[in-house]
Amino acid sequence: MPQRLLPLPSQEDYSLHKWVVSACNEVASRWVLRGPAEDNPRMACFCGAPQSGKTHLAHIFAHSYQGLFVAQPPDESPRFFFEKYHTFSVFAFDDIQNFMERWLFEAFNMLREGPVSVLFVSAFPPSSDIWLLKDWASRLRSLPFLPLENPDDELLAKVMKKRLEDCGVRIETDALRSLQQHIPRTFSAIQKWTRILDEASLRFCRPITRAFIRELVAEVASDSDAEFPLDFDNVAD
């Protein structure tokens, strides 16, 4: 009966420790890391495609300055919402394309009058036709617009190497380059393959070389419908 390598429980880590700055996110990262300051705009809008890291960076912004990260549209009106969370002076609203635009418009008008820092995060830029309420679209376009570009090879390589090092796994540079040629250029693929390499390294007690990468890629490709558990019996010890 084939042995299978079962995954360890995993949870997305949105900490600053896991964030990697690269050319595709440098401007947005600079705004977040400067934080609430007189010479830093109090409000901004992040925009990026799925897997660009915008949610991760919004978590860093909220948690670094004891702020509130808001992932779902609130049920109450802006007035009741901000009365409930009146002790916070930093807010990060994620995926605002899912919020009622009237709610966002009223929240914007309330927040710009107070000493707070606010980040709006969207999958669509302020110039997009998705924004139907003209007053809200105008407010959004008035903010500094900080796009997060799709992750480049440099960033993905840094993230993969860092995550593996955090697991105590070392990977040769040429092996990492080889892997990048076979996997999607997304953070979800990086997360998946970090787990695969971590578990395979423990299972076989082998360094992560190009040859080992080729064997693992072939094994995963043979069972592309299921990420886990993986059957590693065909991978040579």
149 vs 53: CA distance, rounded Å: 9
Dihedrals phi, psi of 213, to nearest 5 degrees: -60, -45
Q: What is the pLDDT of residue 154?
A: 84
Average pLDDT over residues 31-57: 89
Overall average pLDDT of the 179-205 stretch: 87
pTM, two decimal places: 0.74
137 vs 11 pLDDT, higher one: 137
Tokens 């105590």 belong to 168
Lowest-confidence region among 9-18, 94-103, 127-136: 9-18
Gap between the Cα atoms of 93 and 121, Å rounded: 6
What is the amino acid identity at position 76?
E
pLDDT band at 225 (very low <50, low <70, confident <90, very high): low
Q: Of 32-46, 95-109, 133-147, 223-237, where does mean pLDDT reach its minimum?
A: 223-237
Query: 138: which 2 tokens?
Result: 């105008």
Place 19 in a pLDDT band, splitting at 50, 70 and 90. confident
Express each pLDDT in 80-120 by its tens digit: 999 999 999 999 999 999 999 999 999 999 998 888 999 99
Distance CA 131, CA 29 (A): 25
For residue 198, which of 8, 1, 4 has the smallest C-alpha distance? 8
Contact in structure between 197 and 171 (CB atoms under 8 Å): yes
Question: What's the rounded mean pLDDT across residues 135-139?
Answer: 97
